Amino acid sequence: MPTDPLTLVHLSGLFAIVGTLSYAIGDVLMLAVKADITNYPNLQPHAKLLSGTEKLVALPWWRLAWGGLVGVLATPLLVAGLWHLYYGLAPAGAWLAWPPVLLFGVSFILAPFVHGSFIYLGEYVQALNRVSAESQDVIIGMFRRFRQVLIISYGTLMVFALAAIIWFALAVAQGDTLFPRWLAATNPLILLLLYFLVRRVGPKLTERVDGAGFSIAYLAFFILTTATLW
């Protein structure tokens, strides 16, 4: 078992990389799919409510299930990855090191609920496509209530994630951490905006990873943080 502190830091970074890669794979399995709603008459009256989630109707069960599970099961790796962030921030002092790590931690703890919830969201969409018109109101009611829960949980996760990212960027920018100052400008938020820019300029480039932008941004971020502490 490794006891050298730097070895543990490296392992922590690698755990974070594998964890975010797993989330990205899960996103691709669940969300990188196309479905034309005109091919699904039962869904057409509810196109506005579904608002993009109608594509889940085209997923086979194995993709829906494993797309959710692969991220959920990888969450402990993300939590273990927090150690290398703290190690890199620690020289700046407790007030700059602990808050972003704890905020990232809360967002990582909330992440599996949000990620795994797409399994059930997909089930509602597929059930809505299968049932008769007389039974659709029941599914629609369930879908509306579940979507509200998902919006609340996703919104909470984003608040903690944004607070963590901003605090981390400010801590690194002031220059007393082990991370280079340029890392402040390559935080997950900037990397996500870069992903959306690439998607807008060349949609074909991101077609196969559609829906995985957030996870890909974190993956790139953790590759950079791990590399700079190696």
Q: Which amino acid is at 119?
A: I
The residue assigned the tokens 């392992």 is 11
The residue assigned the tokens 């029941």 is 138
Q: CA distances (Å), 9 to each of 120, 143, 185, in order?
A: 36, 43, 22
The residue assigned the tokens 């402990």 is 76
Per-residue confidence (pLDDT) for residue 211, from 0 to 100: 87
Q: Write out the two tokens for 92.
A: 């700046």
Per-residue confidence (pLDDT) for residue 4, from 0 to 100: 67
Per-residue confidence (pLDDT) for residue 2, from 0 to 100: 54
Report residue 214 CA to chain centroid gap.
Answer: 5
pTM equals 0.92
Mutual angle of helices 82-89 and 61-80, in 10-degree steps: 30
How far apart CA 213 and CA 215 sit, in angstroms, is 6
Q: Which amino acid is at 24?
A: A
Average pLDDT of adjacent 10-residue blocks, the chain of 230 residues:
74 97 96 88 89 90 95 96 96 95 97 94 92 86 92 96 97 95 95 91 82 94 96
